[in-house]
């Protein structure tokens, strides 16, 4: 069994969603003064590799702490956009017809993971824009035809960077699904494969979102 860490390290000056602040690390206790080391860490709930819950966007949406823990463990299927993006001029559009090619593979999985390739730009300005996104029709098809717990991507968002309405988030959240963003190391998985997926969020009261430790288990 191979274990692959799909999580970016949380650290000062790391990439964060525009308009939010990077984590702040302070040395609260030291070996010299207190006999032990402890840090005070301040961070936004959607920092790094993280999960969005419906409460992030929807007024009466579920918070992550209200989900049973088994919702964050299951089988996932990864789709790489490498060939798809090289064969189409609509590089930003992950459309319904493309996803329908994977209907059989997605019928019995809990999570769809999309490798957009955008994690290659982690730490650069390019990471914040231009990433591929689902069309609204594709998102609706996923929610109406499959029984997914959620969708994950290596991009900073599943909505357009200039969106203020966040339609893709809303489509998924209205079905109780979660969204995972900023996944890492998806290129260490095969381009199309099933694997066991663990994406446990910090158990925070009334969590609209939370950092996760995302892990893949493969043969």
Report the C-alpha dihedral over residues 202, 204, 210, 213, rounded to 10 degrees.
0
- Which pLDDT belongs to residue 68? 97
Is the pLDDT confidence value at 180 over 90?
yes
Q: What is the pLDDT of residues 105-123, one digit of tens each?
A: 999 999 999 999 999 999 9
With H, G, I as helix, E, B as strand and everything else as coil, classify residue 18. Answer: strand
Contact 181, 48 (CB under 8 A): no
Strands 178-181 and 150-153: parallel
Cβ-defined contacts of 37-41 (< 8 Å, 24+): 41/10
So where are the chain's domains? 2-9+45-218
197 C-beta neighbours (distance < 10 Å), count: 25
- Which pLDDT belongs to residue 82? 77
- Which pLDDT belongs to residue 92? 85
- Which pLDDT belongs to residue 84? 76
> What mean pLDDT do residues 39-61 have?
97
Is the pLDDT confidence value at 91 over 90?
no
The span from the CA of 75 to the CA of 146, in Å, is 13
Q: What is the pLDDT of residues 181-208, one digit of tens each?
A: 999 999 999 988 999 999 999 999 999 9
Q: Which pTM value belongs to this model?
A: 0.95
- Which pLDDT belongs to residue 89? 54
Contact 159, 122 (CB under 8 A): no
Is the pLDDT confidence value at 125 over 80?
yes
What superfamily does domain 2-9+45-218 belong to in CATH? Putative cyclase (3.50.30.50)
The token duo for 212 is 């996760």
The token duo for 184 is 């890492």
Tell me the pLDDT band of 164, cut-offs 50, 70 and 90. very high
Residue 67: C-alpha distances to residues 43, 110, 146 (Å): 22, 15, 19
The span from the CA of 131 to the CA of 182, in Å, is 12
The token duo for 122 is 């982690």
Q: Across the chain, where does the E strand assignment appear?
A: 2-5, 24-29, 38-42, 50-52, 73-80, 93-94, 111-115, 133-134, 150-153, 178-181, 192-201, 209-218
Is the pLDDT confidence value at 88 over 70?
no
Q: In the chain, what percentage of residues exceed pLDDT 70?
A: 97
124 C-beta neighbours (distance < 10 Å), count: 9
Handedness of CA 42, 178, 130, 188 (dihedral sign): positive
- Which pLDDT belongs to residue 219? 87
Tell me what the pLDDT averaged over the chain comes to: 95
């Amino acid at each position: 069994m191979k274990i692959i860490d799909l999580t970016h390290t949380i650290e000062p000056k790391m990439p964060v969603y525009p308009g939010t602040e990077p984590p702040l690390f302070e040395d609260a206790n030291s070996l010299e003064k207190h006999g032990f080391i402890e840090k005070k860490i301040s961070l936004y709930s959607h920092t790094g590799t993280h999960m969005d819950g419906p409460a992030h966007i929807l007024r009466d949406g579920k918070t992550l702490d209200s989900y049973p823990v088994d919702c964050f463990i299951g089988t996932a299927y990864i789709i790489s956009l490498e060939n798809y993006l090289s064969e189409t001029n609509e590089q930003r559009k992950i459309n319904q017809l493309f996803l329908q090619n994977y209907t059989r593979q997605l019928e019995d999985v809990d999570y769809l993971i999309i490798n957009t390739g955008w994690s290659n730009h982690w730490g650069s300005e390019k990471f914040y824009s231009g990433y591929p996104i689902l069309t609204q029709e594709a998102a609706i098809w996923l929610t109406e035809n499959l029984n997914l717990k959620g969708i994950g991507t290596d991009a900073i968002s599943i909505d357009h960077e200039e969106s203020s309405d966040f339609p893709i988030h809303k489509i998924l959240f209205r079905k109780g699904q979660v969204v995972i963003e900023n996944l890492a190391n998806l290129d260490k998985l095969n381009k199309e494969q099933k694997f066991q997926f663990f994406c446990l969020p910090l158990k925070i009261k009334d969590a609209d979102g939370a950092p996760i430790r995302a892990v893949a288990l493969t043969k």
